[in-house]
Amino acid sequence: MKVLNIGSLNIDYVFSVDSLVKRGETKRAESMKVICGGKGLNQSIALRRAGMEVMHAGVIGMDGLMLKEILEGTGVDTTCVQEGPEKSGHAFIQVNQSGDNSIILYPGANETLTMDLVRSWLDKCDPQEDVVLLQNETNLTAEIIEEAYGRGFRIAFNAAPADASVKEYPLEHVTWLFMNELEGMMLTGERIPMLMIKSLRQRCPGVELIITQGDQGSMIHSNGLNHMIKALPAEAVDTTGAGDTYVGYYLMSRMCGEDALEAGKTATAAATIAITRSGAASSIPSMQEVKEFMSEQ
């Protein structure tokens, strides 16, 4: 049993600032770091650190070999990471003193996927055992959902970053749909998570819905029941990657037999640890750390 994550691979430039830059403002950064990121890469690392077997599939440029190396160093299978002529994806991230962030994303090689590549990746997996994970940082997302669904795969989709195109995706074909409040608002036009769930239930009956709400916790709709998971107290250093950590740990927990409520608690604990550390991939805890943290709550 494994996860095939057809996901983004980015080189992140992280700037520490006293406050996020406003329109027309020029601001001096207190520090700058270059790290590996992308929702796809972060979620693969979160899944692997949670104990799941992971195969990452995606495209990098010649400038992106370090992205492949960090995945391999974490134990992720990179057989399906291809190198292409386009520059790798890049993200430019501001992080303020409260840990809040603002991100500019350049997709680069992440948007050079072809369906021939996708089919070759799916051919390496077993629809009876494996799960396909997607985010909205590559091209062909709707087509990949249709292809994977047609083959009988369970599909997890993180609707981030959300844009108008997501409304047209065949979301009724996914098994797990992850979103934050802004993404839920984009999909439904609603501002209250309970109303988001009501709207999505009508469109996607049977889909497990997970809405993360930052320091308000998360809401999960599964098997006709709604679960509210409270956030855990923590001093935020950097919230970048916390949502990806949640996705990875939640999906691992569900695939390994935990119910939605327990999966939500495990994912919340992992994300809480992540926000107390700087960086994205580098902030993701191991399962042992999560277990120890949960035992102290």
Residue written as token pair 């980015």? 10
CATH number at residue 261: 3.40.1190.20
Query: What is the domain count for the chain?
Result: 1
% helix / strand / coil in the chain, to the nearest 5? 40, 25, 35
d(CA 129, CA 121): 15
User: Is 287 a domain residue?
Assistant: yes
User: Is 19 a domain residue?
Assistant: no
User: Is 171 a domain residue?
Assistant: yes
The DSSP line for 228-274 is EEPPPP---S--TTHHHHHHHHHHHHHHTT--HHHHHHHHHHHHHHH
Supply the pLDDT for residue 98.
82
User: Is 54 a domain residue?
Assistant: yes
User: Is 21 a domain residue?
Assistant: no
Tokens of 157: 């989709």
pLDDT tens-digit profile of 100-143? 888 888 999 999 999 999 999 999 999 999 999 999 999 999 99
pLDDT tens-digit profile of 159-176? 998 888 999 999 999 999
Mean pLDDT of 38-52: 97
User: Is 15 a domain residue?
Assistant: no
Say whether pLDDT at 278 is over 90. Answer: no
Mean pLDDT of the chain: 95
Supply the pLDDT for residue 239.
83
Q: Which residues contact 45 (CB under 8 A, 6 or more apart)?
A: 70, 71, 74, 76, 248, 281, 284
Supply the pLDDT for residue 48.
98
Domain housing 205: 2-9+38-89+110-295
Supply the pLDDT for residue 151.
98
* Phi, psi torsion values for 3, nearest 5 degrees: -110, 125
Supply the pLDDT for residue 135.
97
Tokens of 142: 């709707």
**Whose CA is closest to 244, among 288, 200, 290, 275?**
275
> Is residue 161 reached through a cis peptide bond, with omega within 30 degrees of 0 on the bond before it?
yes
d(CA 4, CA 155): 10
d(CA 207, CA 149): 13
Q: Sorting pLDDT into bands at 50, 70 and 90, what band is 282?
A: confident
User: Is 58 a domain residue?
Assistant: yes
User: Is 105 a domain residue?
Assistant: no
Catalytic hit among 130, 163, 244, 259: 244
Supply the pLDDT for residue 286.
96
* Catalytic (active site) residue 163: no
Cα 116 from chain centre: 24
Q: Sorting pLDDT into bands at 50, 70 and 90, what band is 236?
A: confident
Q: Sorting pLDDT into bands at 50, 70 and 90, what band is 297?
A: confident
* pLDDT greater at residue 101 or residue 290: 290
The DSSP line for 85-135 is SSPPEEEEEEE-TTS-EEEEEE-GGGG---HHHHHHHHTTS-TTT-EEEEE
